[in-house]
């Protein structure tokens, strides 16, 4: 068999997979630690889709790990990189340049595009990326999407509603209920996100 060349020779790996894994580990700055001791220092983002009567609506929020507050939100009829870039631009419009803050996402093409990364640099943000096919690397963001759909979107016939109507529903849910009134299991005493931020600010000023 040897003379006839019929013996299979095991191929030695060249370390490509290992290198990729090591690179991904270095790029994941969050490492599933979704807590933060200060506002706007550790941020999460992702995209979820909602089926409406006139097509899909793509929802792009940014969540603050400090208190679970949604601090920026963009919604479009497509999931091109501009959706994510404009979400970051909205963040800067509201809070200014966040020098040294970390923004974590998955490895979707929107987030790994040159234009998106350039926007992060412009705003002083440091990029963190989940590992490939590691959904738990952004579990807190996924948890928010599950809450949004379970508590609000699945309770109404959104499949019969147009995108603009659903946009209004989502916006109102997030900014008039979720951020300000909902019990948040990640926070001390289950405080709503804005209530926790306010209490910490008052404590800081009192000190």
What pLDDT sits at residue 3? 56
What pLDDT sits at residue 189? 87
Q: Which domains does the chain have, with CATH numbers?
A: 31-184 (3.30.420.10)
What pLDDT sits at residue 188? 86
Taking only Cα atoms into account, the Rg of the chain, rounded to an integer number of angstroms, comes to 21
Q: What is the pLDDT of residues 66-118, one digit of tens each?
A: 999 999 999 999 999 999 999 999 999 999 999 999 999 999 999 999 999 99
pLDDT tens, position by position, for the chain (207 residues)?
455 544 444 444 444 445 478 878 889 999 999 999 999 999 999 999 999 999 999 999 999 999 999 999 999 999 999 999 999 999 999 999 999 999 999 999 999 999 999 999 999 999 999 998 888 999 999 999 999 999 999 999 999 999 999 999 999 999 999 999 999 988 988 999 999 999 877 655 444
């Amino acid at each position: 068999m040897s003379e006839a060349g019929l013996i299979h020779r095991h191929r030695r790996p060249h370390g490509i997979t290992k290198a990729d894994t090591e690179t991904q580990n270095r790029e994941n700055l969050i490492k599933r630690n979704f807590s933060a001791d200060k506002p706007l220092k550790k941020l999460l983002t992702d995209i979820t889709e909602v089926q409406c009567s006139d097509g899909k609506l793509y929802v792009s929020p940014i969540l603050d790990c400090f208190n679970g507050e949604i601090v920026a939100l963009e919604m479009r009829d497509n999931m091109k990189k501009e959706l994510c870039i404009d979400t970051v631009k909205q963040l800067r419009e509201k809070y200014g340049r966040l020098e040294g803050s970390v923004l974590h996402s998955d490895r979707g093409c929107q987030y790994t595009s040159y234009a998106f990364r350039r926007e992060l640099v412009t705003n002083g943000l440091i990029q963190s990326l989940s590992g490939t096919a590691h959904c738990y690397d952004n579990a807190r963001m996924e948890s928010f999407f599950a809450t949004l759909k379970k508590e609000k979107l699945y309770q109404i016939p959104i499949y019969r509603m147009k995108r603009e109507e659903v946009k209004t529903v989502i916006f109102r849910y997030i900014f008039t209920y979720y951020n300000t009134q909902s019990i948040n299991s990640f926070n001390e005493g289950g405080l709503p996100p804005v209530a926790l931020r306010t209490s910490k600010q008052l404590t800081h000023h009192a000190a």
